[in-house]
Structure 1
């Protein structure tokens, strides 16, 4: 070989990022393998290669029989094998010499030059093959090192081809990824030259390069798409706590803000819904519910069942189970089509969720528990004046909570529903957030409470208005001179004293 070979190896090593020393060792191994194929080759030999001139010699090692067993590396005889790259049959290789022991006993080993006279042409061809092979191996190793640490990242590629098993996506020149059928979203179609986004699911080495598996079904895709569209997530101001997804149909994400004044839901939705619309477009119409994360399980579960309205949530921390009471007209919405909404909420929160309508829950309340025993759900069995069950926890070995008025119900030997007065209802409101038993915590959903308060205020205002109208009508019917009695002035709704009238009272009224 000539010096040009060494220069070519140096240039390629620099361009491809391969060590020149590695190429030299690989060339030595290749030359030795080529020599072994020559008829009459020595059993033990090595190749000396000059790194500056590319001159080489084949040296036969003459090992005494008494040292042969000590110098040979123990190998498993695999018999005839097939080269995975070329498909050629490979005969069993000759035993190798342990280099460490060779240095130890080399003074007792004779050597001689056995370089074939016509070995130059074979050496040149071998050098070319080795260089190309090592370059391919180096590129594969570099690709594997580049992508193995990128699992979970979002990538964009172009669809090259597809069949019944997988879709081939080109990431960049000479780098391709596989989108298996199991990682594709049902109903999605991938056309040739179409740009698609996916997340890297798995990277594994192979003889033909790294095998890169990407996914369109992984929940991580939702996180990566929102991070791409929402600057607050990319900057760490907003974080996606969890994602529950049924690919192609619906997803729920729980978001939390780490900065004051930053609304996590509003940040993800964007101005006029522009940000979430981009994510939905990439997912081809998949619906997304953005839920504010809450450390309180009851409130988090209630929000996770959105868009359904929740009346109240009973949580059992030990069993990590939540019983959700919803209005009768919200039951089907809370459960969702084929249980989808409830299933996604359970995955998002990590809690087992049991959804019941108000009617169903009230029926169970009337029939559950025996006298003197604690209810099965740990709640007080007293029924308030508004017809709802007291949300406080029952005392141990009792059916009622710690309120005096509720404990007084123990003396009544009845299984009928007990209705308390409005005063009792107001009193019980002071303990709604207490956990007396330590087992079951009862939380009323904030939205439901506000809605009930608004409804009660509206009813009270309407009743007061009706009373004013009735008083005005009675006064008009009696007339100013009816029965010689003074006319009653209507009481204004603002509670102020009525203005004095210009008409003088009758004499009978004065005399009286």
Structure 2
């Protein structure tokens, strides 16, 4: 066995398979041990203890195998033990219980041992490579990758992904009627990564619905940045794909964004899943609008059929159509109903309105009841969200208030410290002032306070006199007012009142007179508010008033227009 070739092979494996040298050396050690066990005829399934072995690989590329035996007084197994009196010449310092290592001549291995070494080494390297692939692709499930066809078999196709890693494209994951050839470039989705499968641990797919989804994410920028969201997707490979989309921006048309200008975007996706030179691959893509209104969403899913009724139940959806729409709703080979069931995640039962009426089912009432329940449910959900928002807002405000109060408390504490420092400095300065200075300050303050008190008393007195004078003026003005009948009945009364008022203005009233006059004025004002004062007349005067046609002396002597002018001024 050429050990130099083995060392060079280790370097090539490490470079091409991305496997660490430690893993390769462990695989080689395991192979050498297995080969040596076969060489000394140690059976694999034997219950007897196996000999201890150690493999050493130096930096220079030297490989050595050592057989370890234990020193004993009496040997029971030649492959495990050495007798002390037999090795005392070679190992004079040996004692019972010591372990002695003896190098094994690897070049003495026969063809069977070398074949066994090769098989074990290859198996260990494959397991290490498989673990690396699992670690590399376990987080890439449902990701789209570029692949190159490596070999085409009857029931599967081997493809190479990431330029070096082999993956399995099983027959069930292939698009029906799609043709493959060596060197063909494809886009595939990583379907499964598992260490339980034989052969390649990576399974890829061309028939998965996620392939179409990832292709749209790569082609449509609005889907990539999250403005448009793919809510649900269903696919029957090489037949039809239905995709429900929703726009988070009201200014962006979700369906229009996926279709693109003159259908450029959807055509790019179709070209990836349909071979242009193969007429047997004729897959189409339907893009529908997702709605939070479940009935409206079901109607969109069932297009191009016209739906007149939807009755959702626990595990099934009853769909009502007209008689001429039944075949369109089911679709060719039931594909439309199959896609609808996958999009809605429930079984779909399509019936005509006439069939339900014959069966005695009032589908319109059931649909109305469902709509009422949904509206009530939405209302409760809206109230719940509003309550959560209000609670979050209240918590936010409380937190802000708490932070504000904490900040204010800190500021107040700092200000208190500054004030305390200032007060201490002021107290220290005041301690130096003598008692005589304090007495002088008190005397000065008292001397200043006395004239201030006198001024305040004078101001108060003047203010009281001004108030009394203003009240007197108001009373005089009110006393001047008399009605027209009073002026006619007693003209001399006005002159007396004027004289009294004038005399009152001329001399200073006493406090008792002012209080009495204010009381009279209040009484007069109350009387004016409640009623007008009517003068008392004798019977003769009343009789004269009842005969206005007679010529009275005061018709000629009194100018009534002059008195009207007086009332106008009032």
TM-score (norm 2): 0.49
Is 2:39 aligned against 1:44?
Answer: no
Deviation of the 1:276 alpha carbon:
1.3
Is 2:220 aligned against 1:230?
Answer: yes
Q: Hey, what does 2:299 align to over in structure 1? A: 302
In the aligned structure 2, how far is the partner of 1:43 from the partner of 1:393?
78
Is 2:342 aligned against 1:342?
Answer: no
Unpaired runs of at least 5, structure 1: 70-93, 96-105, 369-374, 381-390, 395-432, 440-512
Q: Hey, what does 2:140 align to over in structure 1? A: 150
Deviation of the 1:311 alpha carbon:
3.0
Is 2:162 aligned against 1:162?
Answer: no
* CA spacing shift, 1:51–1:351, aligned 2, 3 Å: same
- Which SS does the other structure have where 1:340 is aligned? helix
Instruction: List aligned pairs for 1:97-496, cutoff 5 A.
Output: 109-116=97-104, 119=106, 133=122, 138-205=128-195, 210-284=200-274, 285-316=282-313, 319-360=314-355, 363-364=357-358, 368=360, 376-377=362-363, 379=365, 392-393=368-369, 434-435=372-373
Q: Looking at CA atoms only, which structure, 1 or 2, has the larger radius of gyration? A: 2
Which stretch shifts more, 255-264 or 25-34? 25-34
- 1:201, 1:215 within 8 Å by CA — same for their partners in 2? yes
Higher helix share: 2
Q: String of CA shifts for 1:436-488, please: whole Å, max 9, x gaps.
A: 9989xxxxxxxxxxxxxxxxxxxxxxxxxxxxxxxxxxxxxxxxxxxxxxxxx
In the aligned structure 2, how far is the partner of 1:323 from the partner of 1:392?
14
Deviation of the 1:221 alpha carbon:
1.9
Equivalenced residue count is 344
- Which SS does the other structure have where 1:379 is aligned? helix
Q: Hey, what does 1:60 align to over in structure 2? A: 68
Deviation of the 1:336 alpha carbon:
1.8
Deviation of the 1:301 alpha carbon:
0.7
Which stretch shifts more, 36-45 or 332-341? 36-45
In the aligned structure 2, how far is the partner of 1:111 from the partner of 1:293?
76
Q: String of CA shifts for 1:315-363, please: whole Å, max 9, x gaps.
A: 34xx2544333344433322222332223212211244333445555x4
- 2:148, 2:160 within 8 Å by CA — same for their partners in 1? yes
* CA spacing shift, 1:164–1:37, aligned 2, 3 Å: closer
Q: String of CA shifts for 1:218-266, please: whole Å, max 9, x gaps.
A: 2222212222222222222222222222221112112223344332222
- 2:146, 2:162 within 8 Å by CA — same for their partners in 1? no
- 1:298, 1:322 within 8 Å by CA — same for their partners in 2? no
In the aligned structure 1, how far is the partner of 2:7 from the partner of 2:149?
41
In the aligned structure 1, how far is the partner of 2:309 from the partner of 2:64?
86
* CA spacing shift, 1:68–1:341, aligned 2, 3 Å: farther
Which stretch shifts more, 200-209 or 188-197? 200-209
* CA spacing shift, 1:107–1:21, aligned 2, 3 Å: farther
In the aligned structure 1, how far is the partner of 2:285 from the partner of 2:197?
41
- 1:203, 1:213 within 8 Å by CA — same for their partners in 2? yes
In the aligned structure 2, how far is the partner of 1:113 from the partner of 1:378?
92
Deviation of the 1:305 alpha carbon:
0.7
- 2:157, 2:170 within 8 Å by CA — same for their partners in 1? yes
- 2:73, 2:96 within 8 Å by CA — same for their partners in 1? no
- Which SS does the other structure have where 2:333 is aligned? helix
- Which SS does the other structure have where 1:187 is aligned? coil
- Which SS does the other structure have where 1:276 is aligned? helix
- 2:30, 2:120 within 8 Å by CA — same for their partners in 1? no
TM-score (norm 1): 0.54
- 1:300, 1:349 within 8 Å by CA — same for their partners in 2? no
- 2:166, 2:200 within 8 Å by CA — same for their partners in 1? no
Deviation of the 1:189 alpha carbon:
2.3
Deviation of the 1:178 alpha carbon:
2.5
In the aligned structure 1, how far is the partner of 2:14 from the partner of 2:273?
44
* CA spacing shift, 1:182–1:68, aligned 2, 3 Å: farther
- 1:186, 1:248 within 8 Å by CA — same for their partners in 2? yes
* CA spacing shift, 1:348–1:35, aligned 2, 3 Å: closer
The higher-RCO structure (CA 8 Å, 6+ apart) is: 1
Q: String of CA shifts for 1:257-302, please: whole Å, max 9, x gaps.
A: 3344332222221222111112222222312211212222211111
* CA spacing shift, 1:24–1:221, aligned 2, 3 Å: closer
- 2:30, 2:121 within 8 Å by CA — same for their partners in 1? no
- 2:193, 2:202 within 8 Å by CA — same for their partners in 1? yes
- 2:71, 2:100 within 8 Å by CA — same for their partners in 1? no
* CA spacing shift, 1:269–1:46, aligned 2, 3 Å: same
* CA spacing shift, 1:376–1:438, aligned 2, 3 Å: farther
Deviation of the 1:8 alpha carbon:
9.3
In the aligned structure 2, how far is the partner of 1:67 from the partner of 1:240?
76
In the aligned structure 1, how far is the partner of 2:200 from the partner of 2:254?
39
* CA spacing shift, 1:286–1:27, aligned 2, 3 Å: closer
